[in-house]
Amino acid sequence: MEITKKLESKKLIKNYYEKLRKDLVEQTEKGLSTHVFPEKPMLKKEVAELGLFLMGKTNYYEAMTLGSKEAEKLKEYIKPDIWEDADYYKLLVYYFGENADLVKHAWNRMPYKMYQTSYFRRSFRAPHNERYVLMNQANLMRELVRAPSVYSYDSHDQNYDLSLEEQIVYDNEVSNNSSQFYVWSAAIDTGNTAIYQLIEDIIFNKHTEGKVSRNIVKALLNSEKKHCWELVEKLLLAAQRQEGLRQTILEALDETSIGALEYMTNVIVEHKLTRFSSVVRSIDTWTGLGWESEKESVVKNIVSLAHTYFSNPELVPDAIKSKNNNEVYMGLWVQGVWDVDKTVPYLHQLFDKGSVEKKCLAIKFATETGDPYIQMPLYYKAVLGGMQRYWHLLGATCQNY
C-alpha cells in the first residue's frame, strides 16, 4: 500500500506551519488563541514570542549561524534551565505534546554534540562555550518542529502527526527532520524499552515493514547506552561487502555521542577495518587530515592513536610535545572531541615554541575547528611573524610518518 494511503488518518491540517505561526502571533499580540489547535495549551506572551523565534520565519529549516543577528539574540530569549520553568515548559507541550520530556532531554544533551555541520564538519565539541551551546539547542528546536512529510509533485508537501514508532518504521518512506533521531535516542536513554526493541527488530530484519535507515543508526549511536553501540557494531561487522551500509554507519558516527565514537574507534582497530575505503573517508571527515586515499598502515596508525588517547587521556599532554606530527595532531583531535576550547593553550604552545612544522600544524588544526575565536589569535601571530611564506606547507603538515 502506498505510504500516503497508510497515513491518511495521520494528516496534519493544510498550511500547518502558517497556521501554527499565526496562532503564536495571536497569543503574542492579543493573548488569544486562533482555536485552530484546541488541544494545544495557551502560552504567556513571552513564551509565545520564544516559540515564534525558535520556529523561524520560513516553513523550511533554516539554521542559525554563529555571528548572525538571530544567534546574537539567543541570550535574550533563552535563560539557563529554561524548561524547568512551568510556563516555558508549556512551549514544549505546545510543539511536541506527549514527547515534551524527550525533547527536553535531547536539549540538555546538546552541549555535548558537535557544533559544526555539513561535509566540512569535524568531530569537535564545545560543551562550555555558550555561543555554540545555545546555537545547537536553538537549531535542534527549529529542526524538530518540522513534522514528518511526504513530497508531492502537484501540491505542497503533506505533513503528518506520527508516533515515535511510526516515525521509525516509516523512516525510509517519509521525510523525518534530520534531528528526529535525537528524540528516539532520548526515548531509549530514558527507559523506553519498546522503542529499543522496535529498532533491534528492524536491525535484525525481524520487523515486517521497518528497514534500517541512517536515522536509526544515528539514534543508536547517539544513545548513552552501550548495548545500543554494540547493536551498531554487529551491523557494521555483518556488512561484509556492503560498502554503502558501512559508509552510512561510519559517516554518522562523529555526529553522535562521544562514548559511541570512543567505542567504535576501538571496534575499527580490533577488527582491522582500516582496509575499507569508507573508513578512510570517514576518518578524513572526522579529523580534517585532507586524505583522498591513504596507505592502510597510515590509517591504522591514526585510528590507533585516537583509540590510545581516548582510553588514556593522561597521555594527551605528552602527545602534544611529541616530535611525531601524527601523535601531536591526534592528541589535539581527541582533546577537541572532548572540549575544543581546551586545545587553545596547546595550540599557542606549539606556535610559540615549536618548529615551522609545528607552527603550521597549530594553524592547520585551528582552521579545522571552524571557530574564529580560536583561529584569529593564531592567524594574527602568524602574520606578525612573517609566516605567510609557509602557508603552502599546511597541506603536508601531518604527513610525518
Please check whether residues 34 and 140 belong to one and the same domain.
yes
Please check whether residues 142 and 19 belong to one and the same domain.
yes
Please check whether residues 153 and 142 belong to one and the same domain.
no
The residue among 251, 273, 295 that closes a domain is 273
| Domain of residue 29, residue span | 13-146
Please check whether residues 142 and 193 belong to one and the same domain.
no
Please check whether residues 156 and 136 belong to one and the same domain.
no
Place of cell 562550555: 128
Q: Would you state the pLDDT for residue 293?
A: 65
Q: Would you state the pLDDT for residue 163?
A: 97
Please check whether residues 163 and 258 belong to one and the same domain.
yes
159 within 8 A of 12, measured Cβ to Cβ: yes
Which residues, 6 or more positions from 353, have their beta carbon under 8 angstroms from its beta carbon? none
303 lies in some domain: no
305 lies in some domain: no
DSSP 8-state code for residue 191: T
The residue among 246, 273, 300 that closes a domain is 273
Q: How far is CA 128 from CA 75, 182, 375, in A?
A: 15, 20, 18
Instruction: Work out the number of other CB atoms within 10 angstroms of the CB of residue 253.
Output: 25
CA gap 16, 24 in Å, rounded:
12
245 lies in some domain: yes
Please check whether residues 50 and 137 belong to one and the same domain.
yes
252 lies in some domain: yes
Please check whether residues 21 and 142 belong to one and the same domain.
yes
Please check whether residues 19 and 124 belong to one and the same domain.
yes
Q: How far is CA 396 from CA 282, 388, 393, 400, in A?
A: 19, 15, 5, 8
307 lies in some domain: no
**Count of positions (residues) in the chain:** 401
Please check whether residues 204 and 224 belong to one and the same domain.
yes
The residue among 123, 146, 169 that closes a domain is 146
192 lies in some domain: yes
Please check whether residues 23 and 124 belong to one and the same domain.
yes
Q: Would you state the pLDDT for residue 154?
A: 65
Please check whether residues 171 and 130 belong to one and the same domain.
no
In the chain, the number of structural domains is 3
290 lies in some domain: no
10-residue mean pLDDT profile of the chain (401 residues): values are: 88 90 93 89 95 86 86 90 97 97 98 87 94 94 94 78 97 95 98 98 95 96 97 90 85 88 93 87 86 79 95 97 96 98 97 92 94 93 74 47 35
